[in-house]
Amino acid sequence: MNLTKTTFGAFALTTTLLLGACGDGDMNKDEKMDNKSEMKDKDMNKDNMKDQDMMKSGMFKSMNDEMVEGKATIKDHKLMLTDFKSSKGPDLHVYLTKDGDVEKGMEIDKVDYNKMEQTFDLKDMDTSKYNEVTIYCKKAHVVFGSAKLK
């Protein structure tokens, strides 16, 4: 009877140790999978944060005997004009352009020549192709000024 108890005890202890070891191995495997998922999520969040946190700005310079002053800033998928002033124009619009080329640029919206603070939504727009914010009078076909973005 003693031999049976000892054999049974040894068997139970061995089984417990083996099952415990198997469980630890599976947990490590799951933990590794979780860590990989977390790392992927962090990398994706970094990419999103780069887009959101990436800020470009520049100061307006007047052109063609017209006056434009203030600052243009692109951040968080928005274009913000601050301390903005412009010569009065009949049909002023704000564009994102590459080197001031309005024809190949992207029209954003009408701009108010005497409103110092203005914000425009750039959601779903690829702003990486453009390096300037341009104020353009569509009616007169004249660039009033632009801000190089850095």
In tens digits, the chain (150 residues) has pLDDT values of 565 666 555 555 554 444 444 444 444 555 555 555 455 444 444 444 444 458 999 999 999 999 999 999 999 999 999 999 999 999 999 999 999 999 999 999 999 999 999 999 999 899 999 999 999 999 999 999 999 999
Q: Give the predicted TM-score (pTM) of the model.
A: 0.66
Distance CA 32, CA 56 (A): 39
Using the structure block, give the residue that is written with the tokens 């009616």.
139
